[in-house]
Amino acid sequence: MRLAVLGGYLLATALGQAADKKTAPKDDFMPYVELAPFVVNGQRLAISIHARNKKDRRYAEDFAEEVVKVVNEGVTKETGKGLVIIGKKGEPHPIFVFRKFLALANDGKLDPAVAARAPELTSMLNHWQDTADEGKGFSVHAETDGNGDVDMEFDKIVTALPLPLEGMGAKLYQLAWSEGFDDKKVEARLRALKAADLDGNMFARFDWVFYLPPRGALESAIDDIINTALKQEDMGFLTRTAVKGALLFVKPMIRKAIEAIRQGLLFDTVVRARTDFGPEAVSELTGTYLEVLMPDTKDKTGPGTEHERAVRSVAAKVKELAAKPVEKEPEAEEKPAGETEPVEQKAAEGSGSNP
């Protein structure tokens, strides 16, 4: 009798566990996350990579390793628990999901409590574009237009630019992931979204999360820049041939300039997340780092390898910032309940759908 009761209990327990497994949502994201083999002076960094094949993983590791090592050696050893997500070819850049959300919020097609989160997302995108624009201050020269500078307009390179996934941006990325980045499904989820749906965050275990566009996105952006320059209407055959030659000659410099911006965005993300520096100080540090990476700046940043020059330059900037007197931030002016400051839209503007 006891054996029969025990057998029944074990069977019920097994069936209950099987039912729990069947009804529990499948985690199809975290299995692709692996700790990267980053070591600096014997210290193992807690940086993980989310990738869906070996080539993507290696590409993401190569991209992130140099940046986080410069942060570790030149700014802070506490680079934190980070996650770099490399996109898969064919998936849309998160900016298009973000723009769709903002367009729906602006048109009054979202739950009011969800739409109220739009300024948070817009602020994140504005900072992202401001950081990218710092890199555009270093021009690449070629005889392509009136002033000879290659046009690297933000929207021409946007799909090649990585970005931090923070706050509302992180939640929207997770939503798009769960829908397989299907445009219609994502829009339907956004329209049905309630404030409570934004509570969970599978990225909560990380100190910072960073999205890296898929392999090939950078080269595609460079090709678009060159093709756009060649399509100028007032260009004859001989001029077009000359311009094409000039652009192909400076193509490596264009690539280096855009890659510097991409690395600067990761540098900015880690420094903001892992130091007490304010926005202006982080901007100065990022600008210092970009100056080392940009084409034709080697003579300005001293001898040594690019890594050595980057570490030396940002470490010197850290000391300079530490020596500055701390300025008190002006007290925020109190506003009537319900009144908010308008948020300027930059990167948030554009088509809400995928290109």
Tell me the per-residue pLDDT of 56-95, one tens digit each, with 9 for 90 and over. Answer: 999 999 999 999 999 999 999 999 999 999 999 999 999 9
Contact between 352 and 99 under an 8 Å Cβ cutoff? The reply is: yes
Higher pLDDT, 219 or 16: 219
Q: Which pLDDT score is estimated for 299?
A: 62
Q: Is the pLDDT of residue 103 over 90?
A: yes
Q: Which pLDDT score is estimated for 202?
A: 87
Higher pLDDT, 344 or 56: 56
Q: Is residue 347 part of a domain?
A: no
Q: Is the pLDDT of residue 336 over 90?
A: no
**Share above pLDDT 70 across residues of the chain, in percent, rounded to a whole number:** 70
17-26, 187-196, 241-250, 291-300: least confidently modelled range: 17-26
Q: Which of 290, 267, 272 lies closest to 133, judged by CA?
A: 290
pLDDT tens-place string over residues 13-28 = 544 454 444 444 456 8
Q: What is the mean pLDDT of residues 96-108?
A: 96
Q: Is the pLDDT of residue 301 over 90?
A: no
Q: Is residue 353 part of a domain?
A: no
105-114, 280-289, 297-306: least confidently modelled range: 297-306
Distance CA 285, CA 265 (A): 12
Q: Is the pLDDT of residue 165 over 90?
A: yes
Q: Is residue 231 part of a domain?
A: yes
Q: Which pLDDT score is estimated for 2?
A: 46
In the structure, what pLDDT confidence band is assigned to residue 151 with cuts at 50, 70 and 90? low
Q: Is the pLDDT of residue 288 over 50?
A: yes
Q: What is the mean pLDDT of residues 216-236?
A: 73
Q: Which pLDDT score is estimated for 345?
A: 57
Q: What is the mean pLDDT of residues 94-123?
A: 96
Give me the domain span that covers residue 137: 27-323
- What is the 3 state secondary structure string of the chain? CHHHHHHHHHHHHHHHHHHHHHHCCCCCCHHHEEECCCEECCEECCEEEECCCHHHHHHHHHHHHHHHHHHHHHCCCCCCCEEEEECCCCCCCHHHHHHHHHHHHHCCCCCHHHHCCHHHHHHHHHHHHHHHHHHCCCCCECCCCCCCECCCCHHHHHHHCCEECCHHHHHHHHHHHHCCCCHHHHHHHHHHCCHHHHCCCCCCCCCEEEEECCCCHHHHHHHHHHHHHHCCCCCCHHHHHHHHHHHHHHHHHHHHHHHHHHHHHHHHHHHHHHCCCCHHHHHHHHHHHHHHHCCCCHHHCCCCCHHHHHHHHHHHHHHHHHHCCCCCCCCCCCCCCCCCCCCCCCCCCCCCCCC
**Share above pLDDT 90 across residues of the chain, in percent, rounded to a whole number:** 57
Q: Is residue 137 part of a domain?
A: yes
Contact between 98 and 121 under an 8 Å Cβ cutoff? The reply is: yes
As for how many domains the chain has, the answer is 1
Q: Is residue 316 part of a domain?
A: yes
Rounded to the nearest integer, the mean pLDDT of the chain is 81
Buried (b) or exposed (e) across 24-59, using 16+ Cβ within 10 A?
Answer: eeeeeeeebeeebebebeeeebbbbbbbeeeebbeb
Q: Which pLDDT score is estimated for 153?
A: 72
Q: Is residue 67 part of a domain?
A: yes
Q: Is residue 3 part of a domain?
A: no
Q: Is residue 10 part of a domain?
A: no
